[in-house]
A and B are shown apart, each in its own frame.
Chain A
Amino acid sequence: MNIQLRDRPEVESKVEVKIAIADCDIHPARATKTELYPFLAKRWHEHLQVYQEHPYQGMMEGPPYPKAQPNASRRDAYPPEGGPQGSSLSFMQKQHLDPNNVVLGVLNPLRTGQGLRNHDLAAAICSAINDWQIEKWTSKDSRLKGSIVVANEDGVTAAKEIRKRAGDKDYVQVLLLSRNVEPLGQRRYWPIYEAAEEAGLPIGVHAFGFGGNPITASGWPSYYIEEMVGHSQCQQTALASLVLEGVFDRHPTLKMIMVEAGFGWAPSLAWRLDKVWQRLRSEVPHVKRPPSDIIREQIWWTTQPMEDPERRDHLFDVIDWIGWDKLLFATDYPHWDFDDPSRVLPPGVSEANREAFYLGNAKKLYGIS
C-alpha cells in the first residue's frame, strides 16, 4: 500500500507561509484495524470480527461511491513506516504540522462509531476513539486537540459521553456529521446540544456521514463527484433543520462550526430562510429571531475546500456577509483536496483579517490562549 508515485524534494523547502496557523480539520487514522482494541471491551473485539461495523449503507468494506484516490487521501501522505495516510504522528508532524507552522490542530476522526446501526457498538467505538485521541495524539503533541465523538443516533448516550469528557482541555469540540438518520434539528439529537452547551463546547458538524437517506431528495445519484458536491446541500438542509426546530433559540450560547461543507451558500440560504420565515412563522413559533441573525451569531465555518470563484471580489462579497471573524482555516490533511495555506487566500486581505482567518478566530472560539 505504501505507494510513492514520484520523488519529491523535502516538503519544507517549498513552503512560503511561515505565519502561525490553526488547522481546524485534520483527520487522524488508525494504522491497523485492531489499533482501537485496547480501548474496547473484549465482547466488541469478537463482535467486530464476526459482524463488522454494520453502517447505514450496503458495503461491508469501503464507501458506497469509490473515492478518487485510496482513502480519499494524498498519495504522498503514506507514512514511511506503513499504514494508511494520517495514521502516523511523526509523519504528520514532518509533512504537515512543522512545515506549515500549525500551532493548533483540531482532530476530526471520521471512521468512528458514527453512522452505525448498532447503537451500543456505536457508543463503544466512539468512547474508544475519544480515549485513543488522547493516547496516540494529543498527549504526544500539545498542538493537537481532540473532538469528542458521540453515538449520534442515540442522543441520551451521546450526552453522557460529552459529560464524561467535559472539562478535559484535550477536547475542544463535540463532533457530529451532517448526514444522519434524521435532519440534525430533530429531537433525538437534542440531548447532545444540551450537554455541549452545558460543557461550553462548540459542536463541529463535519460534512459526510451515513444515515440511510439518499444524498439527493430525488434518490441516489451515479457519481462520486455528486456525493462530494452533495455534501454542501446536506449541510444546508441540516443547518435549516437546526434553525427551524429552534435549537439555537433554546441554546442561545451554543456555537456550531460547519466543517468542510463550504460557506459560499450561507448568505443565499440565510436570505431564503428569512424570506420564508416571514411567511410561515406561524408554523414555527419557537423560532424567535430571523434565521439570518441566528446564522450570523451562532455559526462558524471552516474554509476547506475554499470557495474559488474566478474573481476574488466575489469571494470577498460572500465573506463580508458571513464575517471575517467567522472563518476558521482548515487543510483537511491528509485528504486529496488539501488546501495549501500559502495559496488559499487571494491577495487583498488586510493583516488583521488574515490573522483572524488563519489563527485568531480559532483560538478565540476554542478558548486556546
Chain B
Amino acid sequence: MTTPLPGGVDCDLHPAVPHLTSLLPYMNDYWRDQVTTRGMVDLISQSYPTNSPISSRPDWRPAKGKPGSSLEDMQTQALDPFQVAYGICNPLYGVQMVFSEDMQDAFCRALNDWLVKEWLDKDARLRGSIVIPTQSVEKSVAEIERCARDKRFVQVLMLVMGDVPLGKRALWPIYAAAERLGLPIGIHAGSAYHNPPTSVGWGSYHIEDYVAQAQAFQTQLTSLIVEGVFARHPSLKMVMLESGFTWLAPFVWRLHKFWRGIRMETPWVDRAPMEIVRSNIRFSLQPVDAPPDPALLNRLVDHMQSDELILFSTDYPHWQFEGNEALPEGLSSDLVRKIMIDNPLATYGRLKEPVRA
C-alpha cells in the first residue's frame, strides 16, 4: 500500500442532502410553498442511485439515511484516516435536473447555504464548491459572486453532462467570473439528463450510464479546448472530478492529430491540446481505471507526460477502493507529495489564503 502523506487535500468528497425538505429552511416562503404544495419528492439523480454499490462503499454505508449524510461518518471514514488538511465538498444533489431556471436557482442557493451551515461551519478542514443553476448564465454568475465572498468556497461545480457542451460561448460569463474570483471550475461526473446519457442514445443499464461518464469527459475536453475557453481565460483552471484519467493520453493523441489536420476551422486554438491540458486541466485521482499493477500504472503516468495533473481524492463515500488504499500501489514518494499536496495547492489558490479577509 502507498501511504498517504499527512496535510494533503481530498479534492472530491460528497456530503449528501438527507432530503429535499432539509433544504426548506434555506428557501424563501414562495419556494417552501412550491415544494410542499406541489408534493415535490427528493431529487436523487439516476447517476447515483442511493442503494447502488458505486454510491457507497459497503463499510461506509450508514445504518440509516443516505451515504455521506453524516459529518461524523465523513470525519472518521475519510478526513481523519487520510489526515488531510482540507477536504473539498462537492454536493451531487440533483438540482441540475430541474428545468425551470427560477426553481434551479432557488435550489442551488439553498444547497450552497446548507453546505455552509451544516458542513463548513462544523469542521474547519472543509471547503466547498458553488453549485450553480446552469439553466441561466446570468443567475449562475450572480450565485458565484454571492457565494465567493465566503473564502471557504474554493471552486464552481458543474456536471459533465448538461444542456450544452461546456465550451459553448454562451457559458463564458461563468468562466470569466470564476477566473476573476480565483475559483477553478470543477466538472463532476453526472448528468442533468436533459440529453441522452450517451452520445449514441439511452442505454438499458445504470452501469452503462456510469461507464459513459468517461466518454462525456472526453467530449467536454474537446469542446473546452476547441471553442477557445483557455485562449480567452489563460489562468482559468478546470478540474475533472471522478472522471478517470487513464483515457487522457490516447484521447489527446487523437485530438492533436485532428487539430493538426483541420486547425483552420478553429484558428484561435494557438497551442497544442496537450499543452493546454498541462496548463489548465487537472484530474481527481479516483477512480483509477487500470488493473492494480504498479509497473503499468507508472507507464500510464508516463503517457500523461506530466506529474502535475492529478489531485488526490477519495471520492467519499463512493466505492472506488478498499481499506485505506486511496493511493494506488507503486507511486513514487515524489509523486505522492505532488498528488496529495503540491498539485491541489497549486490548483485551488484559495486554500492558501486566510479564510477571513
Contacts and interface: CB of A to CB of B under 8 A. Distances in A.
B205 A244 contact: yes
Given A186-B204, A265-B251, A225 B262 contact: yes
Interface stretch (A18-26, A88-96, A115-123, A276-284): A276-284
Contact of B208 (A178, A183, A224, A267): A183
A259 to B, nearest CB: 15
A241 B247 contact: no
A183 B200 contact: yes
Interface string A211-254: 10111111111111110111011101110110011000000000
Given A228-B258, A269-B247, A271-B290, A218 B215 contact: no
B45 interface: no
B163 interface: yes
A81 interface: no
B199 A237 contact: yes
B2 to A, nearest CB: 18
Contacts of B160: 217-218
Contacts of B279: none
Contacts of B265: 68, 223-225
A128 B255 CA distance: 36
A185 B168 CA distance: 31
Contact of A245 (B167, B204, B244): B204
B207 A218 contact: no
A219 B162 CA distance: 8
Determine the interface band of chain A, counting residues with CB < 8 A from chain B.
35 or more
Given A240-B212, A269-B247, A217 B198 contact: yes
A160 interface: no
Contact of B289 (A241, A245, A268): A268
Contacts of A234: 199-200
Contacts of B146: none
Interface in B305-328: 305, 319
B276 to A, nearest CB: 14
Given A224-B265, A244-B207, A218 B258 contact: no
Nearest to A306: B257
Nearest to A214: B195
* From B166, B208, B261, B303, residue with most partner A Cβ within 10 Å: B208
A339 to B, nearest CB: 10
Contact of B219 (A221, A244, A318): A221
Contacts of B197: 217
A238 B199 CA distance: 9
Central interface residue in B160, B247, B259, by most chain A CB within 10 Å: B247
Interface string A48-79: 00000000000000000000100000000000
Contacts of B302: 314
A219 B195 contact: yes
Contacts of B253: 264, 307-309, 314
A221 B168 CA distance: 8
Contacts of B18: none
B75 interface: no
A31 interface: no
Contacts of B226: 222-223, 225-226
Interface in A95-143: none
Contacts of B191: 217
A243 to B, nearest CB: 9
A86 interface: no
Interface string A311-346: 000100110000000000000000011000000000
B257 A230 contact: no
Contacts of B166: 218
A307 B249 CA distance: 10
B219 A226 contact: yes
B122 interface: no
B196 A221 contact: no
A245 B211 CA distance: 13
A214 B55 CA distance: 28
A245 to B, nearest CB: 7
A179 interface: yes
B222 A225 contact: yes
A180 interface: yes
Given A218-B163, A268-B289, A183 B257 contact: no
A207 B226 CA distance: 21
User: Which of A221, A308, A318 has its CB near the most chain B CB atoms (within 10 A)?
Assistant: A221
Question: Closest 4 CB pairs between A and B?
Answer: A264-B250, A216-B219, A272-B289, A233-B215
Interface of A: 68, 178-186, 211, 213-226, 228-230, 232-234, 236-238, 240-241, 244-245, 262, 264-265, 267-269, 271-277, 279-280, 282-284, 305, 307-310, 314, 317-318, 336-337
10 contacts: A216-B165, A217-B161, A218-B165, A226-B165, A233-B215, A265-B251, A267-B246, A305-B254, A307-B253, A310-B305
